Chain A
Amino acid sequence: MKRRILLATAAATLAACAGAPVVEHSKLSDAEYTDLSAALKRDFRARGQAKMDRLEPDAVQRACNLHADNPPESVAKPLEQAQLNTIKYPNGPLLGDWKSGSKIAESGRGMQWSEKPDSPGGGGCYNCHQLSPQQTSYGTLGPSLLAFGKTRGFGPDTQRYVYGKIYNAKAFNLCSQMPRFGHTGSLTEQQIKDLTAYLLDPTSPVNK
């Protein structure tokens, strides 16, 4: 008797669940993409520093949307190379000051329509990554960067990779969820150097 009730309940639950359609991230066709882009232009308004050109897809967004974030290598490789070419490496050292890097990693400000364009923005790194063991409020959308330099080395190649990754993450993984901080002008050269130091200076808390 009990079992029959249980089974009936399970069946009812299943029937109720069947109401909502199953959703998958599917590739967009060119026509669908054109429709969506037109709808965004129609239904959004420029406000403050957030101008309408931000809704204009570039080659990277286009490839990722047309391939549901998983483009074939033949599409991804040349676009990654083009993104790599956008990275402007500074003359001189790539490591700035890890202390100011720590503040930039903490701050999630900048580039929003309600914010002043000239107020300094942050990288919002802690929104998605674990970095210093002292900061326990960290997000998990991106990989943990705890002890980054200690485990991956402090050498010039790593420095160049980290600077480049923060400047334009799409150069290394076309549909990465990480913003292109340097490429979009969201962080300055000095800020990216400071963040690079936060990850790669042996005295930074990230490496303690």
Chain B
Amino acid sequence: MRIWGRSGALCAALALAAGHAAAQSQFQQYQKMVAEGSPVELFELVGEDLWKKKQGPKNASLEQCDLGMGPGVLAGAHARLPRYFGDADRVMDTETRLLHCMMTLQGRSREDATKRLFGNEDQPSEMEYLAAYVAGQSRGHELAPGQSHPKEKASYEFGKKLYFLRTGLWDFSCASCHGEEGKRIRMSELPVLYKPEAARPLIATWPAYRVSNSTFKTMQWRINNCFAQMRTPEPVFGSDVVNAFNMFLTVTAQGEPYAGPGTKR
């Protein structure tokens, strides 16, 4: 009896796993289909040129930029962000750190470096190209954002509270849409991003080429897009609030091997 009971439970678990795998493979098939026609690599190549290009008052490249693993070390760096940086005394994600390097290494003003953060299909932005290149160097590395420094812990906690905060003209929180399983806006399925199973595949594929925009988009752009739809004012690029969000989402997704830059609908 005991054995039957056990194997029954095991079979049920296996059946569940099989069903899950079938659903996953359909999703993966779609992902694979769009990825095959994706120009992500082109963005990475242009990003590499920009990484090495001497610019700004100091006529310097970004090659000595420290993304957390030492100056110029790119392999796996994106997968370990956001994290705390002592030289800036704050938590930074990839885009925030890139901006920091433009200002410190290249001597550019914040105004100059943030003049055009979000591009379009005719002309992508420098930040988008750079984000593509840097993220591409983390493929296969498990997401492992910083979680030991008190400011990293505070950032996560802050992001978590923000996720559920009702605000803006229309009283929305992130959870208003991304709060319950199996819900849709029109035909778009809404991932419940405070749960690892939903956060993992998503965070592991941002930044990404977005088919509906015909161009490459960064995580900061994605967060801005949600706030725009929530009818709030605009989040400041690289601000603590944005980094806290990113920290919350990335900790929730931790352990997932980075598989981006991805291709999205």
Q: Which of A's residues lie within 8 Å of B, judged by CB?
A: 3, 6, 10, 16-17, 19-21, 23, 25-26, 28, 32, 36, 39-40, 42-47, 50-52, 54-55, 57, 60-61, 64-65, 68-69, 111-114, 126-128, 137-141, 170, 175, 177, 179-180, 184, 186
A44 and B232 in contact (CB under 8 A), knowing A23-B252, A127-B185, A139-B185? Answer: yes
A43 and B236 in contact (CB under 8 A), knowing A23-B195, A25-B175, A128-B185? Answer: yes
Within 8 A of A (CB), among B140-165: 158, 160-165
Picked from B10, B166, B170, B236, the residue with its CB within 8 Å of the CB of A184 is B170
Residues from chain A with a CB closer than 8 A to the CB of B163 are 23
Residues from chain A with a CB closer than 8 A to the CB of B236 are 43-45
A65 to chain B: closest residue by CB: B166
B13 to chain A: closest residue by CB: A10
A/B pair count, beta carbons within 8 Å = 138
Picked from B170, B180, B228, the residue with its CB within 8 Å of the CB of A113 is B228
Contact B183 A140 (CB under 8 A): yes
Residues from chain A with a CB closer than 8 A to the CB of B182 are 140
Indicate if B187 sits at the interface (CB-CB under 8 A).
Answer: yes
Contact B158 A179 (CB under 8 A): no
Contact B234 A23 (CB under 8 A): no
Contact B169 A57 (CB under 8 A): no
Q: Which of B's residues lie within 8 Å of A, judged by CB?
A: 10, 13, 158, 160-172, 175-177, 179-180, 182-187, 190, 194-196, 199, 228-229, 231-236, 239-242, 251-255
Chain B nearest Cβ from A77, distance in angstroms: 18
Chain A nearest Cβ from B131, distance in angstroms: 20
Contact A17 B233 (CB under 8 A): no
Contact A50 B232 (CB under 8 A): yes
Residues from chain B with a CB closer than 8 A to the CB of A39 are 158, 240-241
Contact B228 A114 (CB under 8 A): yes
- Complex Cα distance, B254 from A20, in Å, reads 7
Residues from chain A with a CB closer than 8 A to the CB of B242 are 43
Chain A nearest Cβ from B217, distance in angstroms: 15
Contact A111 B169 (CB under 8 A): yes
A52 to chain B: closest residue by CB: B233
- Complex Cα distance, B241 from A3, in Å, reads 47
Residues from chain B with a CB closer than 8 A to the CB of A21 are 251-252
Contact A43 B187 (CB under 8 A): no
